[in-house]
Structure 1
Amino acid sequence: MLSGSLRRALAAAVVVVSGTAAVTVTPTAAVADTVNRVVLRDDFSGDSGAAPDAGRWDTDGDRRSSPWLDGDGHLLLGSALRTRKTFGQASGRAEARILVNREDGARRPLGVLGADGRAPDGQVEVLGSDRADGDDFHTYAVDWTPATLTWSLDGREVLRLTLEKDSRPYSFVLIPASGGGYRSSGMVVDAITVTARTTTPTASRSAPAWRAFTAYRTGDLVSQRNVVYRVREPHTSLPGWDPNLVPALFLKV
C-alpha cells in the first residue's frame, strides 16, 4: 500500500496511456565499491643482509646506519626509515609490529609526516598509557581521518592528535629513537601494513528501459530517454509513472 505522501506525488504525475514510443536504447550506470584496501604491505622477507625494498622505503637522507634484513622476516634498523609512497586517501590505518625499548611515546616508533615532510601540528589528547617493554613485539598503529590522527598500542587507543589542518598526503616513518629526536636505540620490525578507504569503479550495470505494469524493487536501475534512474521504493509501475515524472519513486543516477 502506498503512503499518503507517495499518493500525492503520484497524483501530480501526468498519465500517459498511449502514444509514447518504445525505448530501445539500454544505457549503463557505473557502479563503484568503497572498501578498505591494502595499499602497502611489507613482511621483510629476503636474504640476510639485504637492504629493504627500495620501491617501498626511503632512508630519509640518514646514511649513518643502513637498515638490513635478518633473513628471518625481520627488518633491523638504527636510523629513521620512511615509506616512499604517500597516502592521500580520506581515511586509513597504518599498523606495524615492532620490537623496541620504549618507555613512552607511541607516535615515535610509527610516526606520520605530512605533505611538507614534517610531523602534522595539532592538539594532543592522551587517551591511555603508551609504555611498552623491549622484550617482545608490540603492535603500533595510527588511524587517520581528515581531522584526526589516533595512535594505538596493542589495540588500545593511547593518543589522539586533532589536526590544525589537513596535512595529506601522509607518509609513515619508523623511528628507532629512545628520546624526542632520532637518536638510535635499535629497532626490529616484523611487518607493516597500510590500509585505506578507497573507492574503485566496478563493471557497469546495464539499465533496462522503464516499462509500465512492471514490479520494481528498491535499488533496481531503469533507463528512460538515455537517462538512468535508481528505484527508491518497491512498486508496480502504471502508465504515467515514468521516472522523470515521479521523483518520489526514482532517483536520477
Structure 2
Amino acid sequence: MGEARHRTGTSSWRIRPRALVALGAASAGLAAAVIFTGGGGVAVASEHRPIFADDFGGRRGAAVDLDKWRLDGDNRNGRLDGDGRLAVDRLIITKQAFAEPYGRAEARIKVRRAAGPWRAFGVVDKYGRVLRGNVETLNRRADPTSGRSFHTYVIDWSPESVIWSVDGRPSLKLTPDEPGLPIALVLNLATDGRRPASMLVDFVRVTAGSKPMPVPTDPSVEPTETASAPPPTTAPTSEPPATTAPPATTAPPATTTPPKPPTKAPTSAPPKPKPAAKPWKAFTAYKAGDLVTYGGATYRVKEAHTALPGWEPSALPNLFEKL
C-alpha cells in the first residue's frame, strides 16, 4: 500500500501527480453539471437542516440516481447492489455544490486505499478542482485503510477549514487558500495510482446551515491538565515593612472672594468619522466593523468572512447586526 503524499504536521497539500491528474481530469469533466444549493434558502441562522441524502435503495443492478450524482465515465460504473449500497467503480461527484457557510457531510464507506481519508470521501470546488491549502494530520491512527469493514467518514466545513473524521475521530484538517468556497462531494477511487476493485457506499447525507456545527473530539487524546500558578521566586518576609503615618493636614486659609470660573469651556477631541456603508456584494471579503447596506437597511459586520451567494445580511444575523 502506497504512502500518502502529504506531509505530516502543517504543510502544503501534496498529491502524487498521477492521482491529482486522475482526480482533476475526471472532476473537470463533471464540473459543468455542478449546481449550487444554499442560495436563498439560508433563511434561519440557527437551522441545521438536511439538504442532501442518498441511502442507495433500489433493485440490484440499478443505476445511481443521476439527479444527484455524476460519474466519471459510463453510468454502469455506479450500480446499486440491492442491499441498500452503491458499488462505485470510478470517481463520482455530487451534482450540487453546497454554498452554506457551515455544514457536515457523512458517508459510510468500505474501500481499500492508501492513507488519507480524502481518498475515499473528498471535496472539490464548484469548478471540480481540488481545494488548495495547508493540511494538518490530526491523528494517523484515525485513518483505517485495509478495506475489511465499513467506516463512517465525516467532513465538517466552515468558511475557514475542512475537517475529516473517521469513526468519530478527527483525522485531517485542511485550511483552504480561498476560504468559504462552495464545495461538491466526491466518492473517490483516484487512490494514488492504485485503484481497488470497487468501493461500497452505504449512505451519503449532508446537513448544513449558517452556524457552526460541533466537531467530534478524538477520544484517544487525554485532556490536558490546567496549569497551576508558579511558586513565588522570593520567600515572604516574616514582618511587614514599617509604614509612616501620613502628615497632618492643615485647613486652608479662608478666602473672601470665590474663584472665577474659566472663561472657555475645555475643548474635546473631535469625534472620529464613521466608515461609509457600501452596498453588500457576494464574493467580497468583509472584516468586523465594516458597514454594508442591503434591502434599504444598514448592517454592521460582526465577524470577518468572505460573502457568498445566499449570505445576505438579512439572512445571517450571526454575521451581521442591523443598525
TM-score, structure 2 length as denominator? 0.49
Larger Rg: 2
Aligned match of 2:160:
147
Aligned match of 2:55:
43
Alpha-carbon contact 1:38-1:196 (below 8 Å) kept: yes
Aligned match of 1:123:
134
Unaligned runs of 5+ in 2: 1-42, 212-320
Aligned match of 2:124:
113
Q: C-alpha distance in 2, partners of 1:100/1:180?
A: 14
Q: Taking structure 1 as reference, are residues 149 and 93 closer, same or farther at Cα in structure 2, changes over 3 Å only?
A: same
Aligned match of 2:78:
67
Q: Aligned-pair distance for 1:78?
A: 0.9
Q: How does 1:172-211 map to 2 (within 5 A)?
A: 172-177=185-190, 179-181=191-193, 183-198=195-210
Aligned match of 2:184:
171
Q: C-alpha distance in 2, partners of 1:111/1:89?
A: 17
Aligned match of 1:88:
99
Give the counterpart letter for 1:197 in structure 2.
Answer: G
Structure 1 position 136 matched with structure 2 position 152? no
Q: Aligned-pair distance for 1:103?
A: 4.3
Q: C-alpha distance in 2, partners of 1:69/1:80?
A: 15
Q: C-alpha distance in 2, partners of 1:67/1:252?
A: 48
Question: Helix, strand or coil for the counterpart of 2:99?
Answer: coil
1:96-136 deviation digits (Å, cap 9, x = unpaired): 00001134111110010112211110001000122332111
Give the counterpart letter for 2:176 in structure 1.
Answer: L
TM-score, structure 1 length as denominator? 0.62
Identity of aligned residues (%): 40
Alpha-carbon contact 1:95-1:142 (below 8 Å) kept: yes
Q: C-alpha distance in 2, partners of 1:134/1:150?
A: 22
Give the counterpart letter for 1:126 in structure 2.
Answer: T
Q: Taking structure 1 as reference, are residues 59 and 167 closer, same or farther at Cα in structure 2, changes over 3 Å only?
A: farther
| Root-mean-square deviation over aligned CA pairs | 2.3
Q: Which of 86, 95, 101 does residue 112 from structure 2 map onto?
A: 101
Q: Aligned-pair distance for 1:182?
A: 7.6
- Runs of 4 or more, structure 1, over 6 Å off, are none
Aligned match of 2:235:
none
Q: Which of 174, 182, 205 does residue 161 from structure 1 map onto?
A: 174
Q: Taking structure 1 as reference, are residues 133 and 54 closer, same or farther at Cα in structure 2, changes over 3 Å only?
A: same
Give the counterpart letter for 1:183 in structure 2.
Answer: R
Larger fraction in strand = 1
Aligned match of 1:208:
none
Q: Aligned-pair distance for 1:41?
A: 0.5
Q: C-alpha distance in 2, partners of 1:140/1:43?
A: 15
